[in-house]
Structure 1
Amino acid sequence: MDRSRAFPSLPAGVQLAQLESLKVEIPAQALAALAEALDQIAKGRAVDLQGVPPEVATREAAALLNLPHPRLLQLLDDGAIASRMANGRRRVQVVDLVAYRQAQAEASSTVMDELTRVGCK
């Protein structure tokens, strides 16, 4: 589903309901996630919504990136992904994991585009 066209006329934050003094607004990102969830439900697929903590332990971070734990530790040591120490253990911000994953996807796409351009498949 193309999320950018899901709600083309809605502003960045949409007022959903107003009850006396209570006003509920839905951020654009939440609206896009809701549209995606509804699309999956319409296709007969199960949808699981879970909150994500702002930071995770290294094993959780490795699982989120689908990487072996030693590889994640190497990325942390190399500074490719930021981390901090808390009570003697490393913690990784989820936003840093998402940024790393996006950067990797973009780099992969660039390489594939270049291979396609020179005629390799």
Structure 2
Amino acid sequence: MSDTNVKFLDLDEVAPKVGFAIKLKGQRYDGKEATVEDFINNTLDIQALGTKTTAKEEFDITVKMLMRAFPGLPETDIRNLTLSQIQAFVQFAQQNNGQDEVTKSAGDDAKAEAASEGNAPGA
């Protein structure tokens, strides 16, 4: 039997490439495209929250999801972010997880939005 008639998909060629990263405390953390397992775990975590959830429970889930998206990022560093930083981080991660190209404007847009709402440092 000849291989010329075999349809072939090389999944290694489809493998995600890092296309987004953050910098925190001078350290770069590359984001990774969500795997099916990440997606399922994120979905299960959100479903487990239910309708009567506390802000702490919501934040704990957000931290877990960010740690899945940015392996190696210390949990304590996420928990010690300011409100404007965590809002910008979550928005950035949601917009870029799985995308091939990242622009600096995502962070600039988040800063501009925070400033317009009076939540930016020095506002």
Identify the TM-score tier after normalising by the shorter chain. Answer: under 0.3
**When you count strand as a share of all residues, which structure comes out higher?**
1
Which protein shows a greater Rg?
1
Higher relative CO (Cα under 8 Å, sequence separation at least 6) belongs to 2
Q: TM-score scaled to structure 2, two decimals?
A: 0.27
